[in-house]
Structure 1
């Protein structure tokens, strides 16, 4: 593909469901700036995270490779530059590469491919969630959830941090316009919302009709039986129990949606600066998130499952040579961003990258056979879990447990597991074969646990490790 080299602007939110945008048809979220970006570019309707938890997903995003290829398994094994990524490729060509806001890498000193990091957020204490690495075996004692210690209208440190990050991005763009670079530049902006704590200024919450919000579906209190792997995860870290009442569950949902409106406003400020400075015509914009959120479905909150709400992310791209007003139905992944940035800046794509340029995928006919994939080896998981999406089917493979199979066309809410039905035996076999062609599920599970066991040993053993790491979100830098 013959591309005109241009600037890259990447904006990543945290924990945003891929359908939680007005342009994706969400009934409660108003997102005029996301919608406008989609209208002048391409929306990838089938975009997946490589892992439904922050640190592994971001390591894959940085390197353009799958988690099982790079070994950043959980929230205590942060990206440290050991595996080169898109930032290194751009730096090697002498191009400016800078970041603003949340990265969630190992630390600010690691050579992760940035010339400068502005007010970065990294692993708490430089070590992260070590207690989540204790999973061979998973502890029997339940972990107390503290996700909802703060909930409702107000202003959190994360809110202030996001506003400050957007302000810095606006200033950065004006500086580039005043002092243009000879070569294309790449700016990454990491925003935290709608990640918990679910605290949001009242004016955004006022937009949500709380009375119209439906109760979270498939709740165990209503008789729904979770898959055994999911039940084991929930028993270890039961966030829903902390909410306790239907009213608080509805408030949590309202705050989650309101936080997306809050973050849409910050996106709008950045995009307005891009237009005001005259940089818009020479800049490709990518907007996405690191993973989704379960939003109370199946009595689950936060991420860490293979269900659509947790693994599907928003992915919008606009700018030079990007199809306008286009909806791409080909399955894509955050690992596809690395080759996009390198190719879009006029460079050869490194052979080690596992993804494919979104620019090429946006111009090609939809490919229903391209595989959607995600994997999970982190907190609360008794064994590895893998997602394979192909065509109408979503297959969940749990090492040591029975699988799940969903028809994404007739059952988009994933309410009916078809894995045990004889009529779908051939489909199940095909999906299992597709996974095994990609990796050895049991072998990767063993490697992840071996690496985590080694980390736990370095931290003083199981009992010591269970006391190390944040009990809630990683603290924001002073905004």
Structure 2
């Protein structure tokens, strides 16, 4: 990939929320979410309206983000295989050129001691004890017994450890920016900031919940109790880990939705504090800001919560970029992915992009005309999945390929809610064949499924076998580090 020499070599500030649906921003048209600071950033830059995660679960998505490569290229399959630096990424490239590369907040890598491309990690959140969800690696075959959901063990107004963690990390970022302004670096710096909201637990300070009219919220759509039939692969996932059953009532489902929306407002406030500090430090004019999230959240649609599916709510993420050389006020509809951030950071620092990066710089995409042919891709090999699942999206079509199961096909222009599966529609046979061919040109879906399961089986055996492995790993969200760990 050739370097575009007309881009200024600038500092980069990457802000990543956790589990934020790409639609959950005011500037994206969401009817209940209020995000004035995200909206302001989009107004002074470019919002990528078709941005997707490489995998709809935390750890693989973050490993792909770190390396600029697809999950099947790097073999970080699930939440028990944290990024360890084995595959170098954008941080290593910047470090090799003498640039300062630091992080504040959630990374969700294996641990903080491994060479993952940062000179220093501040208050980092990683896999608990470096292990993660070993129980989720038991997939070959899937366990027969369902697993108790703990998503909603805490729900409603209050202050969680994650809320405190995000607030502390916004404070730390403000201090870091003022320090850099007072002691300039000879080369551009890159700072990654990881915020946790709106990730569960769905607990949020009351004032943010007060901004949501709970009574006006519609119930989650396509609920099985209303007669909706899930795809068999999705049903197997829900049978294993039925978080919706933990909510139980329409009132609690509405409260969960309200808390999720309120947490987006909460994290927007933390982002605003960071952006205010960037401006006050005098660094705004020499810093590109990238705002995104690792994946989305199902938000009760189809009776599903959390992530781990190929539907829009789980795979689409917010992605906004602003700063030098970024078009102002543009909405770019070309499909992009988190793996496109790696070449963006390297190119934006004035360096040549490594040839093994699989994405394309967002700087180039933002300047180019809309490309309706560019493919959106995501894959899933993690907890609750009986087999690999792949999404290929192009133009108006979203194709879901489940190894061993029938596919799904949606016309997302006519049916943005993905309510009608057209995979058996004879009029769509040519589209189905074409998108399956695109997938098979990218990878061998069956062989990749076998490879992922073989790696996971080896991990399970190292941990003592299936029965032992099913007891290893966090039962809920990864704990935030204590302030003394910063």
Task: Give TM-score, length-normalised by structure 2.
Answer: 0.98
2:313 pairs with one of 309, 333, 345: 309
The residue correspondences of 1:259-298 to structure 2 (distance < 5 A) are 259-298=263-302
Alpha-carbon deviation of 1:478?
Answer: 1.5
Separation in 2, partners of 1:134, 1:351: 35
Q: Are 1:118 and 2:122 counterparts?
A: yes
Separation in 1, partners of 2:216, 2:173: 36
**Alignment-derived partner of residue 254 in structure 2:** 250
2:324 pairs with one of 317, 320, 323: 320
1:48-89 Cα offsets, whole Å, 9 max, x none, are 000000000000000000000000000000000000000000
Separation in 2, partners of 1:410, 1:124: 43
1:218 pairs with one of 217, 222, 228: 222
The residue correspondences of 1:182-201 to structure 2 (distance < 5 A) are 182-201=186-205
Alpha-carbon deviation of 1:308?
Answer: 0.1
**Alignment-derived partner of residue 53 in structure 2:** 49
2:62 pairs with one of 58, 65, 78: 58
**Alignment-derived partner of residue 99 in structure 1:** 103
Alpha-carbon deviation of 1:387?
Answer: 0.2
1:125-153 Cα offsets, whole Å, 9 max, x none, are 11000000000000010000000000000
**Alignment-derived partner of residue 427 in structure 1:** 431
1:405-435 Cα offsets, whole Å, 9 max, x none, are 0001100000000001111111100010010
Alpha-carbon deviation of 1:461?
Answer: 0.4
**Alignment-derived partner of residue 155 in structure 1:** 159
Separation in 1, partners of 2:185, 2:263: 35
1:35 pairs with one of 31, 34, 39: 39
Alpha-carbon deviation of 1:348?
Answer: 0.2
Separation in 2, partners of 1:124, 1:147: 17
**Alignment-derived partner of residue 85 in structure 2:** 81
SS at match of 2:195: strand
SS at match of 1:286: strand
Aligned residue pairs, count = 479
SS at match of 2:47: strand
5+ unaligned residues in a row in structure 1: which ranges?
Answer: none
**Alignment-derived partner of residue 168 in structure 1:** 172
Separation in 2, partners of 1:370, 1:124: 37
Separation in 2, partners of 1:198, 1:433: 40
Alpha-carbon deviation of 1:380?
Answer: 0.2
1:76-111 Cα offsets, whole Å, 9 max, x none, are 000000000000000000000000000000000010
1:204 pairs with one of 197, 204, 208: 208
5+ unaligned residues in a row in structure 2: which ranges?
Answer: none
SS at match of 1:192: coil
Alpha-carbon deviation of 1:192?
Answer: 0.1
1:316-335 Cα offsets, whole Å, 9 max, x none, are 00000000000000000000
SS at match of 1:278: coil
SS at match of 2:197: strand
Alpha-carbon deviation of 1:224?
Answer: 0.4
Separation in 2, partners of 1:204, 1:421: 45
Alpha-carbon deviation of 1:166?
Answer: 0.4
Alpha-carbon deviation of 1:3?
Answer: 1.0
CA-based RMSD of the aligned residues comes to: 0.4
Separation in 2, partners of 1:126, 1:88: 21
The residue correspondences of 1:120-139 to structure 2 (distance < 5 A) are 120-139=124-143
Separation in 2, partners of 1:127, 1:327: 40
SS at match of 1:302: coil
